[in-house]
Amino acid sequence: MTTAEQSSRTMAAPLVPPVRTPRSVLVAFAYVWLAVVIVAAIFAGVLPLAPYDIAVGPPRQPPQLGSLDLLLGTDRLGRSLLVRCVYGAQVSLVVGAVAGLAGSVIGTALGMTAGYLGRRADAVIRLLADAMLAFPPLILLLALAAVLTPSVPTILVGLTLLVVPTFIRLARANTLSWSAREFVTAARNMGAGHRRILFREILPNLLPSQAAYLPVVMAALIVAEGSLSFLGMGIPPPTPSWGGMISDAKDSIGDSPHMVFVPAAVIFLTVFALNQAGDHLRHRFDRTLHE
Amino acid sequence: MVLTAARRVVRSLVVVLLVTLGSVALLSLAPGSAASVILGENATPQAIAALNSQLGLDQPLWQQYLHWLGGAVTGDLGTSPVTHEPVVDALLQRLPVTLELAVMALAISLVTSVVLAIVSATWQGTWVDRAITAFSSVLLSVPAFIAGPLLIYFFSLQLGWFPVSGWSRIDTDGLAANLQSALLPAVAIAFTEIAAFHRVLRADLISTLREDFIGAARAKGMSRTYVMVRHALRPSSFSLITLAGINLGRLIGGTVVVETLFSLPGLGQLIISSIISRDLIAVQGIVVFVVVVYVVVNMLVDLSYNWLDPRVRKVAAA
C-alpha cells in the first residue's frame, strides 16, 4: 500500500495516475537496517568483537554502555548477545539467501518449462507443485529433521524444497502470459529455437517479478529457520542462531527478559525490513499486481 | 459444475497419494532404520535383518507402500516401536488440544481482521487506515516463537492474568480454566494471520466499494454500515477464504511452536517428542494425518466458491 495508491483513491480515481511519490520513511529504514545486518554478517570476523563461544563477562548481564561486547548484555553462559546476534545473522542470511536463490532458480526453470511446453509437462509439474504445497511448511521441515541429522546443508535442502513450488506457480503464470505476446511469435517466425525463445525472449521479462518476490521469501525462510532452531531441530549448537538464542533464554524470561528481547528484536526488525523491501519492489516490478 | 467439483476431488486424491508415497519412501530411506531404533545400538545385524523382514522393510518400496496404504485406509497407521501404542490412538488422544488451538486462533484472527479491514476500508486513506495498516505490517513480522515469549512475559509474569504454561482440561478443570490456558497460545499464533487477512480483505473491500451496486444501495438510502456488512463483505471475502485455507498450513506450524513453548499436550508436542526418540513410525503417521487434513480443507475451500457466489455457479455451468 504505497502512498501513491492511497492518494489516488481519495481523489476519486483520476484517469491519469499521479506521479509516484517518494519512498516512505519505513522503506528507507528497511533498506538501512538490511544494509547494517548484511555488513555486520560479512565483516563479523573483522569487527572488534569477542568470539561467539566464550564468556565475555558474568552471565545474565543486562544491556550496558561501556564495552561493545556487553552493549546488549550477556546470555546464561556469559557470552555476548551482540556478538551472537552478529554471528547469528550470518546463519540466517546465508540460509535465507542460498535457499531462496536455489529455490527460485529451480522453481523458475520448472515453471517456465511447464508454462512454455504445456500439455503433459505442464500437468506433471503442476501436480508436483501441488504435492509439495500440500505439506505445511514447518511439518515438512520437521519430517526431514526426523530422517536427516540437522546441519546447515540438510536445513538448506528442506528450505529450498519449501520455496520451489511458489516460484513454479509464479514463473508458470508469467510464462503463459509472456509467450502469448507478439515478440515471441515474431522470434519464432524468424526461426528461433525453443532455447533461444526461453532464455532470450521470455526469461529476461520474468526476472523482475521473480526477483521482487525474493525478499518476502527470504523473510519467510528466516522465520522458518528460526522456528526450527527454536524447537531445537535447527542449526546445532554452539553455532549461534537467532531462533536458538530465544529458545535458550525462554526459561529465564522472568529474571533476565533481555536475553529473549534482544534476539527477538533482531529477528523482528530483519523480517519487517525484508517484508517492507519486498512490498516496495513488488509494487515497482510485478506486472500482475497492476493489471 | 458437478464436473469441475469432481475434477477437483480427483486432483486432491492424486495429491494425497503422492504425498503419502513420499512419506513412506522417506521413512524407508532413513539412515538409522526403524529396526535399529527398536532393538537399540548394540543389536546384531542378524536381529536387525530379522526385524526388518518382520516389519516388511526389506520389501520393494511399492509393496511397502501398498501394505501401508491398506492399513491407513482402515485406520491403522502402525504401532509405535517406542511406546508400543498404536499411532492412531496417540494421535486421537492429542488431537483435541491442537484442534482447539487452531480453531481458536483462526476465529481470533478472522474476527479481528474483518473488523480492522472494515474500519480501514470505510475510512481509507485517513490516519485511521494508515495506523491500522502500519500496525498490521508490524504484526506480520511477529512469528509465533517471538509472540509467545513476549505474551508470556507481559500477560503471565508481569500481569499474572494467565498461567505461564500447562493445559487445563475442559472436563476436569472447567471451561473457564481451559479457555484461560488456551488463549495466550492461540493469540500468539494469530498475530501473523490477523495481518495477512487484514491486508487481503482491505484491498478487496476497497475494490468492491467502487462497484455500481454499492452506489445503487447507498442511493436507495441504506446506511453505510448496512451496505458494508450486507452488500460489500460477502463478495469481498473470496481471497480471504482462500488465504485462510492456505495459511492453515502456517497455523499448524504455529501450534507446534506454542505447544512446545507452553507445554500443551497436542499433536505438535507429540511430533517433537517422536522425533527426539527417533520414533519414525509415529512421525510418519502424524505428518500424513496433518497433510491429508490440510489438503481436504483446501479442497473444501475451493468447492465452497460455488455456494458462496452465484456468479461462479453460472460461469462453471456455461
Question: What angle do helix axes B2-29 and A137-147 make, rounded to 10 degrees?
Answer: 30
A73 pLDDT higher than 90: no
Answer with the residue of higher pLDDT: A13 or A44: A44
A23 pLDDT higher than 80: no
Mean pLDDT, to the nearest integer, of B103-131? Answer: 90
A257 has a chain B CB within 8 A of its CB: yes
pLDDT at B308: 72
Q: Which of A212, A90, A234 lies closest to A159 in space, CA to CA?
A: A234
The confidence band for A291, taking pLDDT boundaries of 50, 70 and 90, is very low
A27 pLDDT higher than 80: yes
B27 pLDDT higher than 80: no
B257 has a chain A CB within 8 A of its CB: yes
A80 phi and psi angles, rounded to 5 deg? -70, 130
B272 has a chain A CB within 8 A of its CB: yes
Q: Which residues of B touch A257 (CB under 8 A)?
A: 153
Question: Half-sphere exposure of residue B136, counting CA atoms within 13 Å on the CB side?
Answer: 26
B88 pLDDT higher than 80: yes
Q: Where are the alpha helices (DSSP H) in chain A?
A: 3-10, 25-42, 81-117, 119-133, 137-147, 152-179, 182-189, 194-196, 203-230, 242-249, 258-285, 287-290
Q: Which residues of B touch A9 (CB under 8 A)?
A: 124-125, 206
pLDDT at B110: 93
Q: Do B253 and A137 touch (CB under 8 A)?
A: yes
A98 has a chain B CB within 8 A of its CB: no
ipTM over 0.85: no
- Scanning A99-138 for CB atoms below 8 A from B yields 127, 130-131, 134-138
Q: Which residues of B touch A268 (CB under 8 A)?
A: 141-142, 146
Total CB pairs under 8 A between chain A and B: 142
pLDDT tens, residue by residue, A239-280? 888 888 888 877 777 777 888 888 888 899 999 998 888 888
A93 pLDDT higher than 80: yes
A233 has a chain B CB within 8 A of its CB: yes
A193 has a chain B CB within 8 A of its CB: no
A281 pLDDT higher than 60: yes
Output the nine-digit C-alpha cell for B237: 471475502
Q: Closest-CA residue in chain A for B137?
A: A272
B149 has a chain A CB within 8 A of its CB: yes
pLDDT tens, residue by residue, B232-267? 888 888 888 888 888 888 888 888 999 988 888 888
pLDDT tens, residue by residue, A205-226? 888 888 888 888 999 999 998 8
Q: Which of B125, B210, B253 sits opposite A139 (nearest CB)?
A: B253
- Scanning B13-52 for CB atoms below 8 A from A yields 14-16, 18-19, 22-23, 26-27, 29-31
Mean pLDDT, to the nearest integer, of A100-119? Answer: 89
B152 pLDDT higher than 80: yes
Q: Do B149 and A219 touch (CB under 8 A)?
A: no
Q: Closest-CA residue in chain B for A271?
A: B141
The confidence band for A81, taking pLDDT boundaries of 50, 70 and 90, is confident
pLDDT at B318: 41
The confidence band for A100, taking pLDDT boundaries of 50, 70 and 90, is very high
pLDDT at B227: 85
B150 pLDDT higher than 50: yes
Q: Which of A130, A145, A264 sits opposite B15 (nearest CB)?
A: A130
Q: Which residues of A touch B144 (CB under 8 A)?
A: 227
> What's the pTM value of the predicted model, to 2 decimals?
0.84
Answer with the residue of higher pLDDT: A235 or B258: B258
Q: Do A142 and B19 touch (CB under 8 A)?
A: no
Answer with the residue of higher pLDDT: B306 or B215: B215
B264 has a chain A CB within 8 A of its CB: no
Residue A142 CB partners (closer than 8 Å, separation 6+): A228, A231, A233, B256, B271, B272, B275, B283, B287
A10 pLDDT higher than 70: no
B219 pLDDT higher than 50: yes
The confidence band for B41, taking pLDDT boundaries of 50, 70 and 90, is low
B278 has a chain A CB within 8 A of its CB: yes
Other beta carbons within 10 Å of B303: 15
**What domains appear along chain B, each with residue ranges and CATH number?**
87-276 (1.10.3720.10)
The confidence band for B317, taking pLDDT boundaries of 50, 70 and 90, is very low
Mean pLDDT, to the nearest integer, of B40-53? Answer: 70
- State yes or no: cis peptide before A238, omega within 30 of 0: yes
Q: Do A275 and B278 touch (CB under 8 A)?
A: no
B45 pLDDT higher than 80: no
pLDDT tens, residue by residue, B167-196? 777 777 777 777 878 888 999 999 999 999
pLDDT at A77: 73
Q: Which residues of A touch B14 (CB under 8 A)?
A: 127
pLDDT tens, residue by residue, A144-175? 888 887 788 888 998 999 899 988 988 888 88
Please state, for a pLDDT cut of 70, what percent of chain A lies above it. Answer: 86
Q: Do A267 and B157 touch (CB under 8 A)?
A: no
CA distance B246 to chain A (A): 9
Output the nine-digit C-alpha cell for B82: 517406542
Report chain A's mean pLDDT, rounded to a whole number: 81
Between CA A15 and CA A229 the distance in angstroms is: 51
